[in-house]
Structure 1
Amino acid sequence: MKVRKADWYKEGWTLGIKNHSWVEDTVRQVEFLIKIMELTGKEKILDLACGYGRHSLEFARRGFQVVGVDITKDYIMDARESAEKENLSAVFMQGDIREVGYEQEFDVVLNMADGAVGYLENEAENLKIFDIVAKALKPGGKHFMDIVSADYADTHFPCSLWDAGSNGLTLSKFEWDRESNIMLYGQEDYKYGTILNKPVFSEGCPTRLYHRNEIYDIMEQRHMQVVQMFGKFDGTPASASEIQMMVYSKKCE
């Protein structure tokens, strides 16, 4: 695959993402977060790169006060419409998450389904996301992110993976550069009942992945402490055998 341009994350996102198989796990994911972070329902949550608000809205349905930020206009408009229809306590703002200026205002910050972690133009820009997280959290505040594991990439990429949902199939293709820790990601979706043609992955989205030891260092440098790492939303520990790396951290008091 060819590498897409450096600011690829600014375009190409559509509401067709709602049909992806992994969207079906949203409720289970939110329930897992509430359990492991011991949330009470009174917390104020910031959802960075929130997409169309699937996690934000689910938290709001459970009584949480939520603010979601995403760069894609269609996502934010859709999230606002959903919140208004359900009369939920959720605010959605369109913009680059690097421009978020909150300071010690939130009990919880989320970066779900990557949450744009590793998407930006270079390492300095990518690290700004962690700065934003640490700054936005109150002392003792909690952070959860769900990203692809570089430890897994080292031993399993390149590869292609199928995922089956209730509406169709998703084929994901992964390529890997060990020196830069950059993953190239391509995806094709197929609805059930349609003809499946051979996919053509001409371009891949470049994403900086992180190893577990890197995350510990990044958090420590921002006065945050990793509490737990998971490989699945069922409590399975993070490891080189799990493609996902879910990190639960706390900001030092």
Structure 2
Amino acid sequence: MGWYEDDDLWVGFAEVMFPPRRVEEAERLVATSPLLKVTAGDRVLDLACGPGTHVVPLARRGAAVTGVDLSEAMLARAREACREAEVEARLVRADMREHVEPGAYDLVVNLYTSFGYFTDPDENLAVLRNAHTSLAPGGRLLVDMLGKEVFAGWVGRPQAVDVSGGTVFMRDTVLDDWTRVRSDWTWVRGDEVRRTSIHNTLYSAAELRVLFETAGFTDVECFGGFDASPYDNHARRLIVRGTRA
């Protein structure tokens, strides 16, 4: 079983992965970012939607949103978030290596470093190819992740995050000649200790651009933030956008 298939991880560490500030940030970004701009009726696919962090604000702006996730636990939270916000969205349990709906969407988003989960490079490429097939002509894919160049600026410094009743300690280890990273998390709460490891493929802007183009995308652009700023030494994220011709 891959780490991403473990619902105990998503539920047990949800407070770290999906803190309340992320919901607030998603609301702000969908309202202000030129990269996430949608109009009423736009068909949007959120790949690896998690607990609906972006599904809800996108639906609030009138988009017809589909959220896809492998975790039933996360989809249950997404359904609850939609109920509380009184918005409608289609939520589907599926593997993004396999999920394809030809020509069904105007925009596909994959956010918060939800790309690069798979050890086999061909499987990561399959995600992009599926997104390309699922877009209508002129549709766009937006992938947001921590780029290799940004990650290199702070990797190696352990972090501690306070959560209710305890602390999560995080340490990253670069693997395989800077192609992958393992993130080890240890949750300490009283006498309880819980551990998990997350593995991701690392991509530079140039590497992800090539992957987009290999998947068939044109007009590929790289940005350093949701404000569409350049991907340079001031970048906070790596956001890559490509168009289906």
Partner of 2:31: 31
Deviation per residue, 1:15-61 (Å, 9 max, x gap): 4344364444111222244x235532321000001001110111111
Partner of 1:207: 200
1:243 Cα shift? Answer: 5.0
Change beyond 3 A, Cα 1:173–1:239: farther
Change beyond 3 A, Cα 1:201–1:234: farther
Change beyond 3 A, Cα 1:54–1:99: same
Change beyond 3 A, Cα 1:218–1:18: closer
Structure 1 gaps of 5+ residues are 1-5
Deviation per residue, 1:106-135 (Å, 9 max, x gap): 0000101122x1112321212111111111
The CA distance in 2 between the partners of 1:189 and 1:25, in whole Å, is: 25
1:49-198 equivalences in 2 (<5 Å): 49-115=48-114, 117-161=115-159, 172-177=170-175, 179=177, 181-187=179-185
Identity of matched residues, %: 24
1:232 Cα shift? Answer: 2.7
Asked if the contact 1:52/1:75 (under 8 Å) is kept, the reply is yes
* Structure 2 residue corresponding to 1:222, chosen from 215, 224, 234: 215
1:80 Cα shift? Answer: 1.7
Is structure 2 residue 220 aligned with structure 1 residue 250?
A: no
The CA distance in 2 between the partners of 1:73 and 1:54, in whole Å, is: 15
Over the residues paired in the alignment, what is the CA RMSD in angstroms? 3.2
**What count of residue pairs does the alignment treat as equivalent?**
240
The residue matched to 2:54 in structure 1 has which SS? helix
Structure 2 gaps of 5+ residues are none
Alignment-mate amino acid for residue 10 of structure 2: W
Asked if the contact 2:137/2:244 (under 8 Å) is kept, the reply is yes
Q: TM-score of the superposition, structure 2-length normalised?
A: 0.82
Partner of 1:7: 2
Change beyond 3 A, Cα 1:185–1:201: farther
1:207 Cα shift? Answer: 0.4
If asked which structure has higher relative contact order (CA below 8 Å, sep 6+), I would say 1
